[in-house]
A and B are shown apart, each in its own frame.
Chain A
Amino acid sequence: MPKRTRDDGLKDPPAQLSAFARRQLLEAKISTPVSPVPASSASPTLTPDSSTIRDFTPPVPTSKLKSSKKTKDPTTETPTTRGKPTSRSTPQSTDCNVSTTKKLESALSRQLEDSRRRKEAEEPTAVENGLGDAGEDVEDVMSVDGDEEEDGVDPRVLINGRGRANSIATQISSFVPTEINTAVYKPGLSVKYSLKASETMVFQGEYSLRVLSGSIQVYGATLTPSSGTHEVWAPSTHALPVIEALPRKTGDKVQEKDGEFDAEIVVGKFNSGIRDIGRLWPMFGGVWAPPNTTNKEDTYHLLTTSTSPPGTLTTPSAWLPLLSDFITPSPQAPVILITGPKSSGKSTLSRTLTNILLNTYPKIAYLDLDPGQPEFAPPGMVSLSVIRNPILGPPFTHPAGPVSRESKRYRAHHLGFVSPREDPGGYIQAARDLFQYYTHLYNSHSDSSLGIPLVVNTCGWIKGTGLELLQDIINLTQPSDLVLLHPPPQHPSGNASTTISDIQALLPHTTRFYHMPAPAPAAIQAKFSAADLRALHTMSYFHHSVVRVGGDHEPRISWGFANPLTHVLPWELPGRKIGAGIHILHLTPPLPPQLLRDAIEGTIVGVILVDNVNNSVEDEGNGDRAGSGLPYPFPGPPPTPETSHCVGLAIIRAIDTTTHEVQLILPQKDTYLSEASSSHDGLALVRGRLEAPVWDFVSEELRVGGRVAGDELPWVTCDGAAGQGGKGVREWRVRRNLMRRGR
């Protein structure tokens, strides 16, 4: 099979491609003629178990679609010039696919219309702000200091970097509440909204979402009455999801008197506790409601118009061809690898793609290989998750993997660093083990005849060693599809030496290659620094708990931010129970044991379980090792991904050198912890270099006093005490976006 180059979004093969690639691209276009079949003639008969396909409605006339497209984005003018490898689709499914494509595109094209409208109002466009991804690891450029809140300036304006709120109010939701379309559902709890097709709603805050009739689309997921209730988290740290009503299916009764609405939804108050994070970290207190909100009771707010519109999550038009390729199931579940430099929209695309796949497949596997901005694990970890429900919130709202009652749904490895840079070999080892776990799941699953698709999100390091690692990951996972989001040339990282052909050269022949421009640089303007979002994620992790409530005993996630971690009852772990030792990564020779406290007390460690630990090691009695009573230094290297896995992170609260006990702070009632607590396998605590958020060290009393007494709190200082005024006071943070003149 010839290597296929998928670049349907562009009329001509891009100039960056090599002549060889260009020729191949043209051949591919010719050899896979397309069928611009009028979708209305399609009769979906395939896969009765797929609710998505059942809900198909007559698509929007092509002419309308075209006209709306033409005005905006000529690059997507020919949405139908896509070829399908014959192995993946039957003739019927092609029809079906086209129809679905149309539906998706019509929905998405309306989002585009909105964005254009916004542009006309001289505001940042929706598309431009449509990325939930964080900024680059550039500390100096966009760190927002809590200081600024004191000055009476609305923090959100500052945080969003969008101080230019003008008097022109921008329409955010196209839905306008009236007496007819809005009704109280349960007094004080929920509201029923009736939407016409293509009407959109944007909420900020957290809410529960249920479809009463018809169907809606949110973040790529199609929800119907059978989908049940979903919790949606929509803080302004990330782009806000847009709910859009899909056209009603003919014959589908809507229980509205006049029947003029296409979908009915119930939006309810929902209180997981996450919104209280502002009590500990004020910077994130204001992200749950629009500025000047008067009603503090509501957990969510419908955004109709705004003079300083938040970013909303719309899908860039360039993504449409790609996304529409994954609407139909294929017997061979796809393995989709997403790559691109930092802030190119990888996470957003991965989430959207996962949600779209969930419309078809009952479960998706998500291989999360970005330890800096992980989706399903706290920072510093890589993981494999099995996902059954659409992802309807930013990563920090599911900080320890998807919440579900499924047993085999998660495996993680602790890297200890937010980049694979420190230990590329260990990173690949971890990826290999996680992929093997996926293979195992795939081979043993019995849920449906459909396979389990795999979405692989990678870190944004695609130069030098990063490119070599990408090669390793490609060789390992043998993706059926690879998506490269590449920045436009004027992007700060646009001078990256990695080109499209560099990536293409890595691909096996069987892999389909998509490449599409990352959204314009304005979109990448992040509101919070990557380090802030990591700290937020870490805090969310340590304050979350998974509880089983209600008659169904469905696990639910909730948070407690009433107090910093200084108030949490710690676990006490005798040194002898840490059978696989305490390890500090990348430190040779080991520290003298008496310095162990100085090195790791008050830091974050990975809690690792070693499979089939050698009993003789454990029986040796670690109690007397090196006189410290704690298994440090431990003979032997830290556990490897092949023989261990990480059950979570812990903070070493304190080390008692007299009783040789380690006090640990763990997320409350973490389901993984019970595994660690009861396991017969060897336990190891591994210290990488993850940073603990300062907000959990500063206790209430000090905050009330308005002054932090530096010496009273271990490891906490105000700037005054640490040689402030001298030079080289701060850590050496690396800037990678520096440009040189004349380039």
Chain B
Amino acid sequence: MASIQPNAQSRARIVPWRSSADLLWIKEAFHPGPEAPDQRYDALTMAQAWSVRGKLPHSIEATAMLTEAIMHDRPGASQLNLQLSYSTAICRFVNGLLDPAQQSHFAISMHTLARNLNLPASFVEIRHAATHENLPSLAVLRTAASRALGWLWSNYWVWVGATPIDEVNPEVEPQDVNLSRARLLLKQWRKLRRQNPTREIKEGENVPESREALAIIRDCVGICGTTEGLDGVVDAFLEEKALIPSGKKKSSALMKGAFLLWLPLLEPLDVSAPNFAEQLISSMLEILTPMDYALDELKSGSTVPFLASSPPVPKDREFNKALVAWIKHFTGASTSCKFGRTTSPETGVATLDIDNFAKQCIFRPNKWTLDILAHIFKCHPALNSKYSALASIAQTQASFAIEASHKDIEKKVSKTNSTTRALQDIEDELLQFEEKLASMDSQMEEWMQRRYRLREGQNQNGGKQDMAIDGQKGENGGDCGNHKWTKYPGVWTPRPIGVL
């Protein structure tokens, strides 16, 4: 016993899926993309097969129940039947989630538990209504079911198949969580609004679409509550299929569509999430001026080699064109776009300070920022008179600056890479390799011994079993050979259960 460290064992447990690939499969099958074939039926059958093996994780079970209810929702289905299956699925989704959170001796209210788990309180309400009051209407249930699936996606499924957690650093960067949650919300938004992006979203209106849209806005605002959350939401916005249309050429027509689609989400965020507008536009600027960014880092004497940190990856031309289009839209004449024009009640300053932004552009001159500056000056003549002189200097220096920075960086990079690393690091690495080799050698030896022992044990086992079979023959008289069970013929090498 002493020789066995139960470390790995104690963490091992039996799960219903044969391999993590199976789990990933069901994840995809439950969440078909717009073009992918609908595999939800297969996913349901598989989930049922798994449930024979043992209890499913609650989130998978809840996903299956909600999906089942949604798939029954076809024209001609009985209304009551649908209400019942939706209600049960939602009740079980909520209860299964909140019950295990009852950690104390005495019951805690469902609302408190839901808040702790970041589960919108409307689910608790629907659960209550479905259990104790009139069955909620089908419209309410449909929305709730699809929101529940969304919640499950962003709180469970995004974690499935996420980059395996390193032993050393089991904490996942909180930003990644926020990013995936935000991504999902934007995906939901896109799906919801794509058909009819101009449709107004009215507060208090009892239209499922409006309610869902408002819910997405609320969730986004919620994520933006923390610095990491804000970063995550902004990063999610700056991805293709979000603010950046997915077409190859970011034509102005495409961009127009993007404005229509996203401004109804961006504007409420600007109003409700402090710093959102500023963060979004400065992130855009950083993407547009990657070299300057790197240069700043090096010049400020930062000890961190810049390659180790994560500057915005330079994007391709079309991507940048889309960004510029957005910035131009934001910084245009105040009548065309409400985004960034929210004024803070205390300072009276707009969330998007165009004056300051123009200055930033002058400090980081390149072809994108100069293009933006020209646009700003055209729309805001006051700024033109204030900065035009500076801007023209910046323009003439732009080409030089870029060239210089290139050379500068190359030097710095080669320096950090080769000289400082050379001796110490390589020696350390060598030592590590030697240690590794030694441990592998000893492990090899151990395995050989173990194998030898196993084979011995095997022979013993085999002997015993032969006896057992003989014994049975004696007992049974041998007339029933047809029904006789047989043992695996030949030598048995130990292998995992489930492997032939």
A residues adjacent to B (C-beta < 8 A): 140, 145-147, 149-150, 278-279, 282-283, 285, 562-563, 565-573, 577, 584, 587, 591-592, 595, 598-603, 651, 653-654, 656, 663, 665, 668-669, 673-674, 676-680, 687, 689, 691-692, 694-708, 710-735, 738-741
Contacts and interface: CB of A to CB of B under 8 A. Distances in A.
Contacts of A676: 485
B487 A571 contact: yes
A711 B158 CA distance: 19
B148 to A, nearest CB: 11
A587 B164 contact: no
Given A677-B485, A699-B494, A722-B15, A145 B10 contact: yes
B117 A741 contact: no
Interface in B483-500: 483-489, 492, 494-500
B125 to A, nearest CB: 19
Contacts of B164: 720-721
B432 to A, nearest CB: 18
B48 A714 contact: no
B417 interface: no
Contacts of B424: none
Contacts of B23: 721-723
A725 B221 CA distance: 22
11 contacts: A569-B487, A665-B497, A692-B14, A704-B4, A708-B11, A712-B496, A718-B8, A726-B59, A728-B58, A731-B55, A731-B56
A729 B6 contact: no
Given A569-B488, A669-B471, A689-B54, A727 B156 contact: yes
Given A697-B496, A703-B4, A599 B172 contact: no
Given A722-B23, A726-B59, A730-B57, A567 B497 contact: no
B13 interface: yes
A723 B156 contact: yes
Interface in B444-500: 446-447, 450, 454, 457-458, 461-462, 464-465, 467-468, 471-472, 475-476, 480, 483-489, 492, 494-500
Interface stretch (B98-106, B127-135, B228-236, B283-291): B98-106
B196 interface: no
Given A714-B18, A726-B155, A730-B58, A651 B497 contact: yes
B14 A147 contact: no
A378 to B, nearest CB: 17
B20 A717 contact: yes
A731 B57 contact: yes
Contacts of A279: 1, 4
Contact of A728 (B5, B155, B497): B155
A722 B164 CA distance: 10
B14 A729 contact: no
A735 B465 CA distance: 44
Given A282-B4, A698-B9, A565 B96 contact: no
Contacts of B488: 569-572, 663
Residue from A145, A283, A718 whose CB has the most chain B CB atoms within 10 Å: A718
Given A703-B8, A706-B5, A720-B164, A569 B465 contact: yes
Given A603-B52, A711-B19, A734-B99, A146 B159 contact: no
B9 A591 contact: no
A464 B500 CA distance: 46
Residue from A598, A704, A713 whose CB has the most chain B CB atoms within 10 Å: A598
B454 A700 contact: yes
B208 to A, nearest CB: 25
Contacts of A702: 8
Given A697-B14, A715-B17, A728 B59 contact: yes
B472 A721 contact: no
Contacts of B431: none
A584 B52 contact: yes
Contact of B13 (A140, A572, A719): A719
Contact of B6 (A149, A569, A691, A728): A149
Contacts of B14: 691-692, 694, 697, 715-716
B53 interface: yes
A707 B100 CA distance: 29
B457 A567 contact: yes
A724 B165 contact: yes
Contact of A695 (B5, B9, B152, B454): B9
Given A674-B475, A729-B57, A150 B100 contact: no
A582 B483 CA distance: 17
A730 to B, nearest CB: 6
B50 interface: yes
Given A567-B494, A569-B492, A741-B106, A602 B476 contact: no
Contacts of B496: 566, 697, 699, 712-714, 716
Interface string B54-79: 11111101100000000000000000
Nearest to B104: A738
A738 B102 contact: yes
A692 B53 CA distance: 9
Contacts of A571: 485-488
Contacts of A689: 52, 54
B13 A716 contact: yes
A722 B160 contact: yes
Interface string B399-423: 0000000000000000000000000
B107 A677 contact: no
A48 to B, nearest CB: 38
B247 to A, nearest CB: 33
A43 to B, nearest CB: 50
